[in-house]
Amino acid sequence: MERVKVTVAVTGGIAAYKAVEVVRQLQEAGFDPHVVMTRAAEEFVRPLTFAAITGHKVISSLWSEDAGASGGEMSGIEHINEAQTTAALIVVPATADILAKFANGIADDFLTTMYLATTAPVIMAPAMNVAMWQHPAVQFNLATLKARGVHVVEPGAGYLACGMVGGGRLAEEAEIVAAVAEALSNAAGTATATNDLAGETVLITAGGTREPIDPVRFIGNRSSGKMGYALAEEASRRGAKVVLVSAPSALPRPAACEFVGVTTAAEMREAVLAKLPSATMVIMAAAVSDYHVAEVAPQKIKRNGARTLQLEPTTDILKEIVAERAPGTMVIGFAAETENVLANGREKLKRKGVDALVVNDVAGTETGFDADRNAGTLLTPEHEMELPAGTKAAMAARILDQLVVLRSAPRERVTAR
Ligand SMILES: Cc1cc2nc3c(=O)[nH]c(=O)nc-3n(C[C@H](O)[C@H](O)[C@H](O)COP(=O)(O)O)c2cc1C
């Protein structure tokens, strides 16, 4: 069987020597790794090592003899060719520098240029000194990359080459290889660029609303916005015009979306109803508060014995949308449950009258609220489809796959994947 080509990019960290073992294990797992190195990486390991193990030339310069177009064809340009022919780009180790460059779209060498040119899944295994790892700039760049769908194999803690003990140690080689296999299986069937949402205007809500108690306090929830933002990214990638109505979230705004920032459930309702007439699909992934405080204190409440807050129900936005939507506008809800997940989901699907409901169990910490991964079930009045555990980007792709099918054959051909 032909081996799947993957690209291992080695950058200039002390853990560069561990990339040799990752390459070997990828071969054992049935892949055909090709190696790209940054200039700094060559200071740590010689390209010859990788060339000998892989049997392929190691690419490290944007300006090599093979860099130009052969026969005037785009695919003859080496970095474009590499970007388009690889099934995955695996950066191991990933330096603080490469995280910053990828996050900011800098393209000043072979690897950074290739990154911008590839649509293959990108897996990064960072490794660095603990203080570098904890630096807000590094963490911000990581958050940007994760929001963009990059798979990050988190470093572990332990003895570091710099003599310190702490976070920043490259993940185990086997863990990196497993992440590659998972990213490829998540991407299967969705990695190919499709335009299957062209012509659709998808209105998406995300994040957790906040209901004020006084000028400085609020009632909130643990939603991070990651699922809604992943859906927004994926829907625009597939050609939809996307309107993202977002409650507070620490995530960077997805590119190419119309963004409406809101805070409370009432503001979210107003924004969603204003955008509803132009929407052909509405996906309500936000965690909207069921209650708001009846009387918000005008000044900060002082500690003074026990206090009771009177709560009143907020308006059910989902129900209102179902009632007010134009004919043909699909409405998809999300249900975060902590018990009797499926039974509660089925009941909610019926009660809300939505076309589909994504139910997820938010009781755990591995998936659901604030986690990078999610799992769940997509319910329609006729079908139930399991959405296996994966990154939120992969889950977004699976959900949209199903909605495209549902759109083209309402109530008939939705199949389990
Ligand atoms: C001895 C030595 C060890 C280094 N180790 C790391 C490291 O583990 N992680 C990291 O992010 N940078 C490390 N650096 C800094 C990078 O090599 C430097 O930021 C370089 O510009 C990275 O280039 P690249 O990202 O293009 O490979 C190290 C530098 C030296 C001199």
Question: Where in the chain are the domains?
Answer: 4-187, 201-408
Confidence at residue 174, expressed as pLDDT on a 0 to 100 scale: 93
Q: 12 alpha carbon to ligand 1 midpoint, in Å?
A: 5
- DSSP state, 412? T
Mean pLDDT of 67-74: 49
Lowest mean per-residue pLDDT among 71-75, 255-259, 335-339? 71-75
pLDDT bin (cut points 50, 70, 90) of residue 81 is confident
In whole angstroms, how far apart are CA 197 and each of 93, 281, 327, 336?
36, 10, 18, 26
Distance CA 177, CA 23 (A): 9
Fold of 201-408: Rossmann fold (3.40.50)
Whole-model pTM: value is 0.56
pLDDT bin (cut points 50, 70, 90) of residue 69 is low
Other beta carbons less than 10 A from residue 403's beta carbon: 25
Confidence at residue 365, expressed as pLDDT on a 0 to 100 scale: 58
* Cβ atoms of residues 280 and 328 within 8 Å: yes
Q: 96 alpha carbon to ligand 1 midpoint, in Å?
A: 8
Confidence at residue 191, expressed as pLDDT on a 0 to 100 scale: 43
Q: Which residue's CA is minimally distant from atom 19 of ligand 1?
A: 97
> For 225-262, what is each residue's pLDDT tens digit?
999 999 999 999 888 999 999 999 999 888 789 999 99
> For 108-146, what is each residue's pLDDT tens digit?
999 999 999 998 899 999 999 999 999 999 999 999 998
Residue 297 pLDDT more than 50?
Answer: yes
Q: 95 alpha carbon to ligand 1 midpoint, in Å?
A: 6
Confidence at residue 181, expressed as pLDDT on a 0 to 100 scale: 87
Instruction: Give residues (CB < 6 A) around ligand 1.
Output: 11-15, 38, 40-41, 95-98, 127-128, 132
Q: Which residue's CA is minimally distant from atom 5 of ligand 1?
A: 13
Fold of 4-187: Rossmann fold (3.40.50)
Return the amino acid letter for 121: P
Q: Provide the annotated active-site residues.
A: 162
